[in-house]
Structure 1
Amino acid sequence: MHTVWKGAISFGLVHVPVKMHSATEDKDIHFRQLHKECKMPISYEKKCPHCDKAVTSDDIVRGFEYEKDKFVIIKDEELEAIKPESARLIKILDFVDLTDIDPIYFEKPYYLSPDQTGGGAYSLLLEAIKHTGKIGIAKISIRSKSSLAAIRVVDNCLCLETMHFPDEIRAINQVPNLPQATSVNDKELEMAKTLIEQLSEKFDPTKYNDEYRAALSELIEQKIAGESVDIVNAPAAVKTNVIDLMAALKASIEATKPEPPAPKKKRRTKKSEEKIS
């Protein structure tokens, strides 16, 4: 598993040397853009419109546009000079309950593995988090981006989840057309709760898959094999204006009722077999 970051976790005076690995992978199918006429990939070169010539990476510098067409240049050594302590250190600031954090703050998960001789300290932190049921809130810098992070236990591994800072979360009052106050019918509410209960079960991630990606992979395989592909138009979604909310709730509850168990077959006894004979 590729290492994307290397450093240490710090809590109190304890240092835990760790390596960080991405916990997720991109499964999307990516396409190249081709020239329709000759089917060759389209190239995108970096070009300066003022000098009218192509430029290489050595000719490029970072610039921040503080006003229209006005830039301030930021050099690599200037960025290096202001790197925070968290560039090589995951400093745990607090321990909190996971239920205290709204999921909107979470961004991307990473697995943490012990580095070199850090196995003992790693196991200590892992077991301490397990026994207390807490998670650590830390700061970390990855690829020049500073983030909050949550450190928790997944099975027998420390997992770091980068988090947004509070000022990166948009305020709810910016969302258009939200109701000022909610008012619902009590009977409809009870039926909605019943429907939720009937649809509720323990989360099993293996139940869910990306049907579109599977269909796209199959289409690509058929194309590679030179098979003809039948184009089938998907049926249009049925549009219904639900006027009677109660009727819709009743129909939904009926549709999601668990099927009754099949009746058990009576086992034959010796006496019943004697009677039949």
Structure 2
Amino acid sequence: MHTVWKGAISFGLVHVPVKMFTATEDKDIHFRQIHKACGMPISYAKTCPHCEQEVKPEDIAKGFEYEKGKFVLFNEEELEAIKPEAARVIQILDFVNLTDIDPLYFQKAYYLSPDMAGAGAYNLLLEAIRQTGKIGIAKISIRSKSSLAAVRVVGNCLCMETMHYPDEIRSLSQVPNLPEQIHVNEKELQMAKALIEQLSESFNPEKYTDDYRAAMLDAIQQKIAGESVDMVSAPTAGRSNVIDLMAALQASLEAAKIPPAAPKKRKSPAKKAKDVVS
């Protein structure tokens, strides 16, 4: 794997030299735009609409638009000077429980490996996090962006996940049509809970595949072989025209082969009295 960052994890006075590797990879199928007439890829030149000419990379600066059409410019030296002194340090600020963090905060995962002579400190931090069941909340700067991060253990590896800052999370008040109060039918709720229980199992990521990507790769191979791509869409399995919610729940339970929970029978007053006497 390619090293994307080198630095150290710092907690208290402990310094752990590490290398960082991207933990995930993009397997999306990317298309290029092609000129139909000759089959060549279309290039995108950077041009200035005012000068009406192509601009070379060395003539491009970074600018922030503070008003419509007005920019302040920064060169690379100025941007480097603004970077925090601890740009090469994953500074752990606190240790918290993983369950305290909403997954909404997480961005991208990275693997951390020990660098140089840091194996002893690396192993110490890894095992201490594992045995306490905590994760470290840290700050880090990657590619000119400061991020919060969570440092946790995956197998025998320290894993760091960048996180959004709180002000980057949009408020739920901006989401339209959310209910002010939750009102549900009790019988429907019990059936929905029964269905969830029936469909619940341990998480096994190997069972999930990208069906669209597989179909696209098959289509690409057909094109390479000079074959036409089958345009007939497969029908969605198990789909019905059930509109009524209760009927949909009932059909789902039957498909999952679970009998709906029978309502509890209430004891008659005479039966209760007999139970008390006995």
Q: Normalization by structure 2: what TM-score?
A: 0.89
Task: Report how far residue 242 of structure 1 moved.
Answer: 1.6
Please list the CA deviations of residues 159-217 of structure 1 after superposition, one character each: whole Å capped at 9, or x if unmatched. Answer: 00000000000001110000111111111111111010000000000000000100111
Q: After superposition, where does 1:186-205 map in structure 2 within 5 Å?
A: 186-205=186-205
Cα offsets for 1:147-169 (capped at 9, x unmatched): 00000000110000000000000
Q: Does 1:242 align with 2:207?
A: no
Q: Which residue of 2 aligns with 1:24?
A: 24
In 2, Cα distance between equivalents of 1:232 and 1:86: 56
Shift of 1:226: 2.0
Contact 2:136 2:151 in 1 (8 A): yes
Query: Displacement, 1:86?
Result: 3.6
* Percent identical: 73
Q: CA deviation at 1:235?
A: 4.1
- The 5-angstrom pairing of residues 130-149 of structure 1 reads 130-149=130-149
What residue is the counterpart of 1:274 in the other structure?
Answer: none
Cα contact 2:242–2:248 (8 A) shared by 1: no
Once residues 190 and 86 of structure 2 are traced to their aligned partners in structure 1, the CA distance between those partners, rounded to angstroms, is 50
Question: Partner of 2:104: helix, strand, or coil?
Answer: helix
1:257 CA drift (Å) = 2.5
- Tell me how far 1:51 sits from its aligned partner: 1.2
Q: What are the ranges of 5 or more consecutive residues in structure 1 without an aligned counterpart? A: 259-277
Provide the residue aligned with 1:272 in structure 2.
none
Structure 2 equivalent of residue 41 of structure 1: 41
The one-letter amino acid of 2:120's match is: G
2:45 is the counterpart of 1:73: no
Contact 2:150-2:161 within 8 A present in 1 as well: yes
Matches of 1:15 and 1:158 in 2, distance apart?
14
Shift in Å, 1:8 = 0.2
1:185 and 1:232 map into 2 onto residues whose CA distance is 40
Aligned position for 1:60: 60
**Shift, 1:36, TM fit:** 1.0
Shift, 1:239, TM fit:
7.2
Cα distance in 1 for residues equivalent to 2:12 and 2:214: 48
Unaligned runs of 5+ in 2: 259-278
Please name the residue that 1:268 is paired with. Answer: none
Q: Which residue of 2 aligns with 1:159?
A: 159
Deviates more, 1:227-236 or 1:100-109: 227-236
Q: Residue 69 of structure 1: CA displacement?
A: 0.5
Query: Could you say what secondary structure the match of 2:109 adopts?
Result: strand
Q: Distance in 2 between matches of 1:230 and 1:102?
A: 43
Corresponding residue SS for 2:243: coil
Please give the per-residue CA displacement for 1:224-275, whole angstroms capped at 9, x wherever unaligned.
Answer: 12233332144489673623x22221211111127xxxxxxxxxxxxxxxxx
Confirm or deny that 1:116 pairs with 2:123. Answer: no
Are 1:86 and 1:139, in contact at CA under 8 Å, matched by a contact in 2? no
1:235 and 1:98 map into 2 onto residues whose CA distance is: 41
CA distance in structure 1 between the aligned counterparts of 2:251 and 2:240, rounded to whole angstroms: 17
Deviation per residue, 1:100-154 (Å, 9 max, x gap): 0000000000000000111110000000001000000000000000000000000
2:267 corresponds in structure 1 to: none
SS class of match (1:173)? helix
| Equivalenced residues, count | 258
Is 1:102 aligned with 2:81? no
The residue that corresponds to 1:265 in the other structure is: none
Structure 1 segments of 4+ aligned residues over 6 angstroms from their partners? 236-239
Which piece of structure 1 moves more, 1-10 or 69-78? 69-78
Contact 2:129 2:135 in 1 (8 A): yes
1:81-116 Cα distance to aligned partner (Å, 9 max, x none): 121134100000000000000000000000000001
The 5 A counterparts of 1:166-185 are 166-185=166-185
Q: In the TM superposition, what is the alpha-carbon distance from 1:42 to its structure 2 partner?
A: 0.6
Is the contact made by 2:152 and 2:160 (CA closer than 8 Å) also made in structure 1? yes
